[in-house]
Amino acid sequence: MAARTKRAGSKPFANKKWYNPQVHSGWDKHMTTLGRRRKAIIAHKTYLAAGRSLQALSNVTKDATTKRLSALDARYFFRKHQETGK
């Protein structure tokens, strides 16, 4: 596999920020579990959308605490979606 190289005139790959969430919920790792989940569901309106958003955050973050908490919240929302269908 060929090594990734930058094209002339472009920024280095490490500095490229590509994750731009469409909805900003106010979710923060320092909030309580109930507070984080309340903010996410209010912003996204459905369990599935909230779960997908938090799973995306979990996949791109480098912070271990954020990764763990967003993955837990995403699993919670996916489980709620399965139970209620909303």
The residues spanned by each domain of the chain are 34-86
Can you give the pTM of this predicted structure?
0.76
Cβ atoms 48, 13 nearer than 8 A? no
- What integer pLDDT is reported at residue 78 of this predicted model? 96
Query: What are the phi and psi torsion angles at 11 (to 5°)?
Result: -80, 155
pLDDT, tens digit, 9 for 90 and up, residues 21-75:
788 888 899 999 999 999 999 999 999 999 999 999 999 989 999 999 999 999 9
- What integer pLDDT is reported at residue 41 of this predicted model? 93
Q: Looking at the predicted structure, is the pLDDT value of residue 5 above 80?
A: no
What value, to the nearest 5°, has the Cα angle with vertex 70 and ends 64 and 73? 140
Q: Looking at the predicted structure, is the pLDDT value of residue 1 above 60?
A: no
- What integer pLDDT is reported at residue 81 of this predicted model? 95
Query: What are the phi and psi torsion angles at 64 (to 5°)?
Result: -65, -40
Q: Could you tell me which of 78, 26, 29, 30 has the C-alpha nearest to residue 50?
A: 78
